[in-house]
Structure 1
Amino acid sequence: MADSDSIVSENTSSSLQYELFDSAERGNLQVVKHLVKRGAKLDSRNEWGGTALSLAAYNGQVAVCEYLLEQNANPNLQTKYGYTPLHLAAQKGHPQTIGTLIDGGARVDTQTGEGYTALYLSVLGEHKIPAKMLLAAGADCNIKTKKNETVLHIAIDKKREDIVDLLLNNQANPNSVRKDGETPLHSASHIGSPKIVQMLIKAGALVDGTMKNGATAMHIGARYGKEGVIRTLANIGGADTMSTMNVDTAIGPICIERDTDELVGGGHIDKDWRPIHMAAFWGHKPCVEELQRNGADINCQTSEGFSPLYLASQNGHVPVVDYLLRQGAFVDRPSKIGCIPLIVASGGGHTAVVDLLLRYESNVDHVASDPNKSTALGEAIENGHRDVTELLLQAGADVHKARSDGYNHLFHAVRSEKISSVEILLTGRADPNGSLRGGISCLQVAAAQGNEEISRMLLDAGADVNHQRNDGSTALHDAAGLGRIKVVKLLLARGANPKAKDKTGGTPLQIAAEENQPHAAELLIKAGAEINTVNDNGFTPLFYAAQNDHLDVVKLLLHYRANTQIEDSEGWVALHFAAQAGHCQVADALIRNGHQTINGEGNKGESPLCLAAEQGHYDVVRLLCVRGANVNHKTSDGMTPLHLAAEEGHKGVVEALLGRGANVNVLNRVKNSPLHLASMEDKQDVIASLLRKGADTNIRNIDNLRPIELAKSVKAKKLLSGKIRSDR
């Protein structure tokens, strides 16, 4: 492209210049002459950098081109994109204009910004005569564009055998490569032209030349189903049909980089793919036949152990599978991980292929060596392929075989919620009570998923509704805890025991209470579940609901007369749990239904108010005080709610307790007052609150220490000494 400094600087917006552009484009020679005589500039540019000669050339206005050249118009000026008048004439295929420009001094090998020559553009437009003229004028047919293409690649892409012949006769390089190493022979194989393949080989093309990914022309022909190309290459003898294609697995798809980014391989290709693998993978039976006739091994394997039959089976190519089997392909040759064609065909749901493989006596129960220990039946079930599952069962597949994870086919069908597969397996005598890892049953899996239909099918087939896994839990435990209401109803209707206990003494009702499932809980209660049952930890359903702030469940249990006075091993009742956790509404509901527990003591003498105060639950503290809790209750250590709140620094709780009459100078077992504890823990706000309520700074504890002697910070000591006013 010409430098910007060479661009003529005349004002192209003038009326005179635009008249010249318009007249040149339209071929009005007389007007052009008139405008030139009036002073219009020959090499002035329009907005895209074109000259009058560019416009005339593009539109094939030969007479105007001749006149402008006679007037010394520059034939080599380039547009903003690097196009000369010759490029434009070649692009449109104007032979006379091309001749005029060449005679007028146009350079034939100038390149555009993309690297296009006039010859390239003429071939791209399939203009043979202009191409021939440019070659006769000395055009170089081996110049490459920025994409590393030559005109020979383009002629082949256009399937123009005549232009390919013309270029080869003018020394076009038959081994020129594109960016990914694609040679003209690869391109010819891709389009499927045996004649161009022959011409290229005759001109010296390397038959076994490879792309960067290792693909030969034979591989490309096999990929695209070009049996004529394969036949031609095989007959020439240079292309070894047994050659391998070394493709790095990290590269992935085999690709020829073009403007369309066209994939040649597609998918995930491993190492050592031969042409017959390509043909089988893509289902090109005529290519497979041609390759086999020319010596290709139909049982050859890639580095991953994939045979042609394996690849054809995987992709459901029935004609290829049928041909390979008739030609003696090993029906059960395994891959590197032990998979055989039957397994991958079953997983893909390729019924006709599975049928063919079974007719050739493929091992229906073959187990792969992959981590899942895959089988054909397992893959069919996992992927929900009913027809394939039926075929395999008819062929005698073992319905009870367990996979490496310890679970059988029925379990996997249930877990995947493949209803049709479950139905087929049960019809095929799969045991709904089969022993599985961890003792889990298929019914428990279906119940946990909330799948009513599969649960019903299993029960109809004889599944034990009260089966217990190794931890003692039943399907009803699972369904209740997860709120699977329809399944809970179904299980109860089929005789599930609502009182069943797991190994920790937990019942379905306890699980429902813990997981906040009020609807399931009510169903269980109505079915006879024991509302006050205690597990091994001494917990009732009410404990779990109170502890976890499940208000609706708490109200439900209280409605059905749950006992609020039952104690756990620590002497706590449900209210203790609610108070400690700060669940105000739950605590209120419990007090209203069991006021006698408000001052209940745990094994260490702790009341609900002590627990709420220690944790700083202001709202619960207020509630308990209003409902009549003893604000001066002492634990076995002599700690009152005020002691506990002061020690933890809960100022709001401290003030609430003081406001309800808590003794500010009460002493615990070691004669510490609340002020001692606040001073010891440097709770300055609490110290100030206690002092405002008359806390005695001179009380001495069992160690004969006053609060000021326990204080850690200067500010706390100043508060206690009165140097800082506590009401500030």
Structure 2
Amino acid sequence: MLITRGTNVDIRTRDNYTALHVAVQSGRASVVETLLGFGADVHVQGGSLGETALHIAASLTTEDATECAIMLLKSGAQPNVARNDGETPLHIAARNPLSSMIRLLLSEGADPKLTSNAGESALHVAARSCNSEAAHLMLEHLLKTLSAAEIKEFVNAKTLEDGLTAVHYAAEITHDQLHSPGEDGRLINTLIDYGGQPEIQTISTLETAMHFAARSGNETVLLAMVEKIGAGAVQIVQNKQSKNGWSPLLEACARGHSGVARILLKHHARIDVFDESGRTALHLAAANGHLQLTHLLLQHKAFVNSKSKAGEAPLHLAAQNGHVKVVNLLVQDHGAALEAITLDNQTALHFAAKHGQLAVSQTLLALGANPNARDDKGQTPLHLAAENDFPDVVKLFLKMKQNNRGVLTAVDLNGFTCAHIAAMKGSLAVVKELMMIDKAMVIQAKTKTMEATTLHMAAAGGHDKIVKILLENGANAEDENAVSEFFFDFFT
């Protein structure tokens, strides 16, 4: 009625949308027909992305949207017009499971080879959206005009920044993205059938599609890849290392995808691959607490005492992160060396203590770990627990030798007891725990070089609460040491 009274059919909103945009968004085919009958401009680009009415129609998932698109195209809408981000209606339609829209756009001249500002073709978008039907329709359409070699080049085209192919996108699909059972398998099979190459590596991270499948945990896609490309190619691809040195097996073990790891191991993936830090798949599985994977790798002859560049064994990493079951598996079932040391002479018990892993510390001690082992600074696990403010772990070590004053007076290479270290680091709870065992020792013990007491160390670190509790328990503020002027200034 307003139009018949002379209202401009293409009047714009503040965002530059017209009534035609709104009618298409609402799926009102009859209104779209009316507006077009009154000469509505199908080329107007509105919104922050600069989208036409055809872009909007392509984003919808009902058959009404296809009907709207048919009318727009008959009225002169361009199927290859790009939004501000470079996406055409075909890019947008590729995200949705409405195959009739894909067929329509292709029949009206939509070009699957056009890329967005990010370098993505509509095939990239279809693969990332797990739209196997859209991918199939586009590739089938290109067969009419391109050679097999040209289609292969198209399928393996990379995005601009990361260098991702459609196969990479398909490989990272997770099960919650499936529109129907087995769609991910159909998609990867289609891409490989048309020349997709899983061995292509990304630009910055040097990851193959197998790395992506290992990370997402998609066993269906991984199986399709290994079955499609043949045994020889599988050996090459599954052992390729990314920039950080990870093979697909390391990726799977870090993420806890035991099913993926089984597939890779069944196809003879190398178990002795080392990453840039010298860590193996077993290191990563143990570090992340993946018990089933740790067991699987050991069954496949992974070396239980393998060392990283820093000298860490899988046991060190399991201990550091508090994985008691993995620790037990490594030591009790597979004979991991309890006293294996890193380059700085730290054992797994050192790692557990300095990271506050009480349960693992208890487990290692029960298995026979040496609580008096010293690292290259002369520090025991007790020293490290004190230094990092873990009073419960400190208490564990003290309980072991309640009647042995030596555990409290043991010094590192700097001549510091655990009390000195706790005071210096501001570990109030640890200082309190130590005082419950031997208050006199905590207050009176002096370092060898400076003859500094625990009070001196707390004062030097500016730890007022520790200074207060030490003074309340008899520490002498006038006790001199080799740098007494500093402490005199602090107290006065």
Smaller-chain TM-score bracket: 0.7 to 0.9
Q: Work out which of the residue numbers 186, 192, 197 in structure 2 matches 1:286.
A: 186
Amino acid at match of 2:480: H
Instruction: Extract unaligned runs of 5+ from structure 1.
Output: 1-56, 58-84, 87-100, 250-269, 559-563, 565-572, 584-611, 619-728
* Alignment pair present for 1:341 and 2:248: yes
Aligned partner of 1:331 in structure 2 is: 238
Do the aligned residues in 1 keep the contact of 2:158 with 2:165 (CA within 8 Å)? no
Residue pairs, 1:478-489, within 5 angstroms: 478-479=384-385, 482=389, 483=391, 484-489=393-398
Aligned partner of 1:657 in structure 2 is: none
* Alignment pair present for 1:299 and 2:211: no
Aligned partner of 2:113 in structure 1 is: 208
* Alignment pair present for 1:150 and 2:37: no
* Alignment pair present for 1:389 and 2:294: yes
What is the Cα deviation at residue 406 of structure 1?
A: 2.7
Residue 415 to residue 139, structure 1, CA distance change in 2 (3 Å): same
Distance in 1, Cα, partners of 2:44 & 2:298: 64
Amino acid at match of 1:276: V
Aligned partner of 1:123 in structure 2 is: 24
Do the aligned residues in 2 keep the contact of 1:513 with 1:542 (CA within 8 Å)? yes
- Deviation digits for residues 454-494 of structure 1 (CA, Å, limit 9, x no counterpart): 22221222212222222333234444565544223244269
Residue pairs, 1:103-502, within 5 angstroms: 104-147=5-48, 148-159=50-61, 160-237=65-142, 240-243=151-154, 244-249=156-161, 270-271=162-163, 273-283=164-174, 284-303=184-203, 304-327=205-228, 328=230, 329=234, 330-368=237-275, 370=276, 372-427=277-332, 428-479=334-385, 482=389, 483=391, 484-492=393-401, 497-498=406-407, 499-502=409-412
- Deviation digits for residues 229-260 of structure 1 (CA, Å, limit 9, x no counterpart): 111111112583542554454xxxxxxxxxxx
Distance in 2, Cα, partners of 1:616 & 1:114: 66
Aligned partner of 1:537 in structure 2 is: 449
Distance in 2, Cα, partners of 1:616 & 1:334: 56
Residue 511 to residue 285, structure 1, CA distance change in 2 (3 Å): same
Distance in 1, Cα, partners of 2:8 & 2:422: 89
Residue 226 to residue 581, structure 1, CA distance change in 2 (3 Å): same
Distance in 2, Cα, partners of 1:291 & 1:509: 65
What is the Cα deviation at residue 512 of structure 1?
A: 6.2
- TM score, norm. by length of structure 1: 0.56
Distance in 1, Cα, partners of 2:285 & 2:458: 48
Residue 192 to residue 510, structure 1, CA distance change in 2 (3 Å): closer
Distance in 2, Cα, partners of 1:538 & 1:280: 62
Do the aligned residues in 2 keep the contact of 1:522 with 1:556 (CA within 8 Å)? no
Distance in 2, Cα, partners of 1:546 & 1:333: 53
* Alignment pair present for 1:519 and 2:433: yes
Residue 576 to residue 219, structure 1, CA distance change in 2 (3 Å): closer
Distance in 2, Cα, partners of 1:530 & 1:188: 73
Q: Work out which of the residue numbers 455, 480, 491 in structure 2 matches 1:576.
A: 480
Do the aligned residues in 2 keep the contact of 1:219 with 1:278 (CA within 8 Å)? yes
What is the Cα deviation at residue 367 of structure 1?
A: 0.6
Select the structure with the greater relative contact order (CA < 8 A; seq sep ≥ 6): 2
Residue 400 to residue 145, structure 1, CA distance change in 2 (3 Å): same
Residue pairs, 1:693-708, within 5 angstroms: none
SS of the residue corresponding to residue 373 of structure 2 reads coil
Q: Which has the larger radius of gyration?
A: 1
Amino acid at match of 1:111: R
Amino acid at match of 1:472: G
Amino acid at match of 1:274: T
What is the Cα deviation at residue 171 of structure 1?
A: 1.8
Q: Percent identity?
A: 25
Distance in 2, Cα, partners of 1:235 & 1:205: 14
Aligned partner of 1:695 in structure 2 is: none
Output the aligned Cα RMSD.
Answer: 3.5
- Deviation digits for residues 171-220 of structure 1 (CA, Å, limit 9, x no counterpart): 21111111211111112222233333232233222231111111111111
What is the Cα deviation at residue 138 of structure 1?
A: 3.2
Distance in 2, Cα, partners of 1:112 & 1:463: 74
SS of the residue corresponding to residue 434 of structure 2 reads helix
Count of residue pairs the alignment pairs up: 451
Residue pairs, 1:10-159, within 5 angstroms: 57=1, 85-86=2-3, 101=4, 104-147=5-48, 148-159=50-61
Amino acid at match of 1:109: D
What is the Cα deviation at residue 343 of structure 1?
A: 0.7
What is the Cα deviation at residue 315 of structure 1?
A: 0.8
Residue 476 to residue 130, structure 1, CA distance change in 2 (3 Å): closer
Residue 108 to residue 405, structure 1, CA distance change in 2 (3 Å): same
SS of the residue corresponding to residue 126 of structure 2 reads helix
Instruction: Extract unaligned runs of 5+ from structure 2.
Output: 175-183, 461-465
Amino acid at match of 2:207: F
SS of the residue corresponding to residue 401 of structure 2 reads helix
Residue 412 to residue 574, structure 1, CA distance change in 2 (3 Å): farther
SS of the residue corresponding to residue 232 of structure 1 reads helix
Residue 400 to residue 496, structure 1, CA distance change in 2 (3 Å): farther
What is the Cα deviation at residue 541 of structure 1?
A: 5.0
